[in-house]
């Protein structure tokens, strides 16, 4: 069955480049990003893994653990690590799951047989501290992802989890946000002391809370 937003994500035990992981325990009370890539020693994957290593400190700042996966065994992940460091300038600094029997990939629907029945597609799952799925995206093997967009979404998810707001198109940290329609103007007065601009009764814009 397809994993949907709000579902508790499947737990699993797996071998990784940092040793065995029991997924829910490994996540603890952190946010998490689980992402799959098709194959070690392939060009797009090599660039993506280097980019996630570059951005690791940004995920850390957001209390977010990152873990990758492909259907290669862990020994191949270790073997590919040298190429990532050499060509991307950033050494692997997060665990990669080896999933040669596709046990995790199948639980998460990362194999799309009409694209490839042997390798995972480029899936991303953002998981909240409550172990519930907050976002999922799927890219084809031929398109490398933009992991700064994943950080942007995490910023939005963490903000909207705390305040009665939503974030508009292309929003970035520090920019104005939208007061959710379920909040009355009376309630908004207490929650948003900096005030707001009413463009339409359903579209009220306020400075980002907490900055």
> Which are the catalytic amino acids?
45
**Residue 139 token pair:** 């890219």
Q: Is the dihedral of CA 52, 100, 87, 145 positive or negative?
A: negative
Q: Phi/psi at 88 (nearest 5 deg)?
A: -105, -15
Q: In what order do the strands lie in the sheet with 177-179?
A: 165-166, 177-179, 203-206, 197-200
Q: Which DSSP state fits 3?
A: -
Q: Nearer to ligand BEZ by C-beta: 44 or 105? A: 44
* Binding status of residue 19 toward ligand BEZ by CB under 6 A: no
Q: Given the structure tokens 């379920």, which residue do they identify?
A: 182
Determine the number of helices (DSSP H) and then strands (DSSP E) in the chain: 6, 11
Give whichever of 147 and 196 is closer to ligand BEZ, judged by the CB atom.
147
Which helix H or strand E contains 33, and what residues bound it?
strand 31-36
Q: Are strands 96-98 and 13-16 parallel, antiparallel or unpaired?
A: antiparallel
43 in contact with ligand BEZ (CB under 6 A): yes
Tokens linked to 42: 């392939």
**The binder of ligand BEZ chosen from 9, 33, 44, 124 (CB under 6 A):** 44
Q: How many residues bind ligand BEZ (CB under 6 A)?
A: 8
177 binds ligand BEZ (CB under 6 A): no
Using rule CB under 6 A, residue 67 touches ligand BEZ:
no
User: Is 142 or 184 the residue whose CB approaches ligand BEZ more closely?
Assistant: 142
CB of residue 21 vs ligand BEZ: minimum separation in angstroms? 23
Residues constituting the chain: 211
Q: Is 113 a binder of ligand BEZ (CB under 6 A)?
A: no
The nearest distance, CB 140 to ligand BEZ, in angstroms, is: 8
Query: Quick one: which of 14, 27, 33, 45 contacts ligand BEZ (CB under 6 A)?
Result: 45
Q: Where does this chain touch ligand BEZ (CB under 6 A) — which range of 15-23, 43-51, 71-79, 95-103?
A: 43-51
CA–CA distance, 17 with 68 (Å, rounded to integer): 10
**Residues binding ligand BEZ (CB under 6 A):** 38-39, 42-45, 141-142
């Amino acid at each position: 069955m397809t994993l949907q937003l709000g579902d508790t994500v499947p737990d699993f035990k797996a071998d990784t480049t940092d040793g065995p992981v029991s997924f829910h325990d490994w996540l603890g009370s952190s946010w998490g990003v689980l992402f799959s890539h098709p194959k070690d020693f392939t060009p797009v994957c090599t660039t993506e893994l280097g980019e996630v290593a570059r951005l690791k400190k940004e995920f850390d700042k957001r209390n977010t653990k990152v873990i990758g996966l492909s259907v290669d065994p862990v020994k191949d992940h270790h073997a590919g690590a040298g190429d990532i460091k050499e060509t991307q300038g950033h050494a692997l600094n997060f665990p990669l799951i080896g999933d040669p029997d596709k046990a995790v990939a199948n639980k998460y629907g990362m194999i799309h047989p009409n694209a490839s029945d042997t390798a995972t597609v480029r899936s991303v799952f953002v998981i909240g501290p409550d172990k519930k799925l907050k976002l999922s995206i799927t890219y084809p093997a031929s398109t490398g992802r933009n992991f700064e967009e994943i950080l942007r979404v995490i910023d939005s998810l963490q903000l909207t989890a705390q305040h009665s707001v939503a974030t508009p198109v292309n929003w970035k940290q520090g920019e104005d946000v939208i007061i959710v329609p379920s909040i009355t103007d009376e309630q908004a007065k207490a929650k948003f002391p900096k005030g707001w601009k009413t463009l339409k009764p359903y579209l009220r814009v306020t400075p980002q809370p907490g900055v």
